[in-house]
Amino acid sequence: AFFNTGMTGYQEIITDPSYAGQFVVLTTAEVGNYGCNDEDVESRDLFLNGLIVQEMNQASNYRSTQELTAVLQNHGKPALAGIDTRALTLLLRARGAQKAYLHASDAPLSEDEAIARARAWEGLDGKDYASLVTTPQPYTWNTEGKFRVAVYDFGVKLNILRQLARHDIQVTVYPAKTPAAAILATNPHGVFLSNGPADPSAVVYAQENIRALLGKVPLMGICLGHQLLGLSCGAECGRLKFGHHGCNHPVKDLRTGQVVISSQNHNYALSNLPACLEQTHVNLNDHSCEGIRHRELPAFGIQYHPEAAPGPHDAQDIFADFLKMMEDEVNHA
């Protein structure tokens, strides 16, 4: 179980593929107030294991088309309400992310059996969830734009695709295991490495593809994509105690000194960067790596979510940086 400190945005949170295989604890006291709708979803399904809240309320909002409880039930996802989630959050902060088991059936289950089932969970380390949440087939998101970008779907959020399209980019999305040669055959101006769930070290096939793409086409990675880019270049990646999940994480750009408040959702972070990589951003809470850039090749990554769904819009200029990188490559070709 992991906690998320966002005050709003529960629909975007539960539909974020990056939560695959996890229980999400929401620290905000009131959940469900504004319901759910068809516009604020971030994926085609719900991939989280379950939701834990303090109080689940009925919706009262003009945009609402469905109750949060109905969405969870329709996707077969359990939820627990009526507990002090802020006290639970303090426990998770002190002890780190914990194994959990939520029993939502009428069939009786003893406390000992529930504890045994929780302990039996193997965890996220070494697990490739990206191959479980990725699109089964390539598809085109946007057909108009100055530049063509191929998006590797490791669990991409829909608002990332929306932001790319808003920046005058033609967007085509590909399954996580698509060979680099197949991507290059489409002659894209750039390749985008998406966010996604679980342990980046387990997504070996993606690292191999990224190494094959480096130097041949501009690369941008977000969250898991950022971690995969770092691993592909020789960096290390380790687990954080309780991860970064929420909309209020301060990040400093080491090149300009600018600080932005960012939306984040990850359990791992890069460290021990090789000489070919420059650290560009740092988390001001725990000083973990939040951004990298290749010193010689057109490739960079950021750990946070500039598309802000949910969250602040401070970091959306990152997409313009990707656009400029592609423009520079075209001009120097």
pLDDT digits (tens, 9 = 90+) for 170-216: 999 999 999 999 999 999 999 999 999 989 999 999 999 999 999 99
Per-residue pLDDT reduced to its tens digit, 71-102: 999 999 999 999 999 999 999 999 999 999 99
Question: Of the residues 120, 150, 168, which one is the last residue of a structural domain?
Answer: 120
**248 shares its domain with 103:** no
Q: pTM, whole model, 2 decimals?
A: 0.95
Query: Active site includes 103?
Result: no
| Same domain assignment for residues 235 and 318 | yes
Instruction: Evaluate whether residue 125 is within a structural domain.
Output: no
> What pairs with residue 151 in β-bridges?
173, 192
Residue 64: predicted pLDDT: 97
Name the domain boundary from 102, 120, 138. Answer: 120
CA distance 251 to 31: 27
Q: Is 332 a catalytic residue?
A: no
For residue 310, the model assigns a pLDDT of 63
Q: What CATH number did the domain enclosing 89 receive? A: 3.50.30.20
Which of 226, 244, 249, 305 is flagged as catalytic? 305
pLDDT on residue 312: 64
The catalytic position among 36, 42, 189, 223 is 223
Structural domain containing residue 11 = 2-120
Domain count, the chain: 2
Domain boundary at 95, 120, 145, which? 120
CB 130 within 8 A of CB 155: yes
Active site residue 223: yes
**pLDDT at 311 exceeding the cut of 80:** no
The closest alpha carbon to 14, from 56, 45, 55, 37, belongs to: 45
Q: Check if the beta carbon of residue 22 is closer than 8 Å to that of residue 48.
A: yes
Residue 221 backbone dihedrals phi, psi, to 5 degrees: -125, 145
Residue 183 and residue 174 in contact, taking contact as beta carbons nearer than 8 Å:
yes
Percent of the chain with pLDDT over 90: 89
Q: Provide the CATH number for the domain around residue 292.
A: 3.40.50.880
Q: Are residues 204 and 270 in the same domain?
A: yes
